[in-house]
Every structure is written in structure tokens, then in C-alpha cells.
Structure 1
């Protein structure tokens, strides 16, 4: 089995810490009684589950990837040079989508007619954002 990556170790240690702290917090705040702190205990349980989920995902992905230069003790910066991927250029579509979302929220407040107008514009702006690399300057 491959050695675990550093990010997996970080989340694994965090998960173990939270597994130990959560019951201790429950006992210290006496959450078993009616006046206890159920909110903090619930938040710690959810945080533990979230950390465990991220640990599992990163560990699952680490097994599928080849060794990275940053995981080796003798790795150099130059070993990681090369193509890193596609980074999209500027886009105005997120602005228009957020404005349409504002219209949708205001439509729920002021009237469903405004919400329906927002839905129509939402279809237009979301389609523009999804298909922006199929036409125009940045077409592939």
C-alpha cells in the first residue's frame, strides 16, 4: 500500500482528535441532563463526521494518483514543472447569475411574478455561463 499523503495525515489526526474530544465535551457539559449543551455536542459530532468524510475522500483519491514530487523527501521544485491544467479567463456570467439570484430572492418576497421573470433570465444567464467556451473569443 502506498504511503498516505500529507493532507490525508492532517485530516486523519484531526478526525482522531475530534473523536476523542466530542465525548469528553459531552460529559464535561453534562449534555445528558435537560440543561446540558446539546448544540456544542451536535456541532462537534457533525465536525467529526465531516473530517472523517474528507479523510476518506483524500485517502481514496491518494490511492489512484501517482507519486507527486511534493510527497518525496528528495523532491525539488523543478520536478513539479509543466502543464498544471486549464484555468478559465475572466467571465461576466457569474455577475449576471448573482444578479438574477437576487431577483429570484426578491421575487419570493414581493411576488411570484417577479420570481417567474427571474427564472426566465436565470435560464438565459445559466446557459450563457455553461456554454461560454463553445462560442466567442474563448471557444475551444
Structure 2
């Protein structure tokens, strides 16, 4: 995680320089600090700082990964790639719910309520997909 931490440290340093510079330049041009842009850049600085801190502390506590060591073997990085769920109909119903909600803006708010109901049902489908049928625990 050293490399990722270095990338985000670069972003933190960049935004530490950029935020005051942006505020100063907009103050010179307009006579007042441009609030929205300065706030967006400051929040980007904070987000980059949080990610850098997480990567730095995690890398320090867990030690180097195989990707960070030059003498590492390929087999050291082997393992489970992740969990891939089986086929599901729930994404289709989520898409239908979103489409009906967008059509509700055009044709009437009653249609949006129907879409919200289907969306709620689809959300429960996402949450409880592995508790029914062939995949229940």
C-alpha cells in the first residue's frame, strides 16, 4: 500500500497548495473569495487526506503486500478473487423501478409512487437474495 499512499500524499500536498491559491486568486479578481469552488477544493483535500491516512496506517500495520516487494513470488498474491453472485432477476426489477420513477415525472406523480414501491421491493430483493430459494443458508 506504499505506492497508493504516495499517490494520495501527492494529492494532499497538491490540494494544500491549490486551495489557498484558488481562494487568493478569486479574491484578487472579484474582491471576494469564490465560496463554492474553494469549498469543493477543500472537501477534496479532506477526502484525499482521509484516504491517504487509511492507506498509510493500513500499510504500516499490515506490512508490505506482495505487490510492494521486489522479491515476491507470484504465488504469494494468489487467493480468492472475490465473491461473484449467481444469476439474479433483482437488477432487472431495480431498472424497471427506476424507469417507472423517471416516467412518473413526465406522466404524473402517482407513477413515481408505483415506481418507489417496486424499488422498495427490489431493495428487499437485493438484501434478502441469499436467504431464499436454492441459496438460503
- Summarize deviations over 1:110-137 as a string: whole Å, max 9, x none: 4332232223222222222222222345
Q: Which residue of 2 aligns with 1:93?
A: 90
Distance (Å, rounded) in 2 between the aligned partners of 1:115 and 1:89: 30
1:69 to 66, 70, 85: 66
Distance (Å, rounded) in 2 between the aligned partners of 1:50 and 1:25: 18
Distance (Å, rounded) in 1 between the aligned partners of 2:56 and 2:106: 45
- Summarize deviations over 1:80-114 as a string: whole Å, max 9, x none: 11223322234332232122023224335543322
Q: Which residue of 1 aligns with 2:11?
A: 14
RMSD of equivalent CA atoms = 2.8
TM-score by length of 1: 0.74
Determine which structure has the larger helix proportion and give its number: 2
Q: Which residue of 2 aligns with 1:44?
A: 41
Query: Are the structure 2 counterparts of residues 39 and 123 from structure 1 closer, same or farther at C-alpha, using a change threshold of 3 Å?
Result: closer
Give the secondary structure class of the aligned counterpart of 1:70: helix
Q: Structure 1: where are the runs of 5+ without partners?
A: none
Q: Which residue of 2 aligns with 1:78?
A: 75
Give the secondary structure class of the aligned counterpart of 2:39: helix
Greater length-normalized contact order (CA 8 Å, ≥ 6 residues apart): 2
TM-score by length of 2: 0.75
Deviation of the 1:33 alpha carbon: 0.8
Q: Structure 2: where are the runs of 5+ without partners?
A: none
Aligned residue pairs, count? 136
Deviation of the 1:47 alpha carbon: 1.8
